[in-house]
Amino acid sequence: MTTSDFLGKGWKFPVATEKDTDYVRIAFSEGEESIRESILIILGTVKGERVMRPDFGCGIHELVFAPNNTSTATMVTIHVKEALLKWEPRIEVLNVSAAPDREEGNRLNVDIEYKIKTINTKRNLVYPFYLESTQG
């Protein structure tokens, strides 16, 4: 298996099209970009949203009405780690941390550090998770 076979190729996320001479086709992403997009899909999918795969996704969406505090940040960290370990086999999760955003009071910034297994490359992704404001 070659590195490009392991890293894969798939539809671009968000879904996009590209013009190829006389026709338009679905745009693809591959390699490291495919992995980054896969992580975004996993974290952005609510468990139960996919009919044929009801356990696919991440449990962070259960916390959307939780207060923006250390306890919620810890739970988000746990859910993100679990989801990535289960659904993205091409990476090794090195660290996940979450902290309230200093400027937006209803946002948690989830910092994900991971290593792509076959090419031993470390990457970092910050995922913004928005909580619903419960203040009236």
pLDDT for position 127 = 97
The answer to whether residue 22 is domain-embedded is yes
Q: Please report, in tens digits, the pLDDT of each residue of the chain (136 residues total).
A: 555 566 676 766 666 777 877 888 777 788 888 899 999 999 999 999 999 999 999 999 999 999 999 999 999 999 999 999 999 999 999 999 999 998 988 999 999 999 999 899 999 999 999 998 755 4
Domains identified in the chain, total number: 1
d(CA 105, CA 133): 8
The answer to whether residue 44 is domain-embedded is yes
The answer to whether residue 136 is domain-embedded is no
The answer to whether residue 135 is domain-embedded is no
Alpha carbon 39 to chain centroid, angstroms? 3
Kindly report the CATH number assigned to the domain that includes residue 112.
3.10.450.40
Domain extent, residue 7, equals: 3-130
- Which residue pairs, CB below 8 angstroms and at least 24 apart, start in 102-111? 105/68, 105/133, 106/68, 106/130, 106/131, 106/132, 106/133, 107/68, 107/131, 108/68, 108/72, 108/73, 108/76, 110/43, 110/60, 110/76, 110/77, 110/80
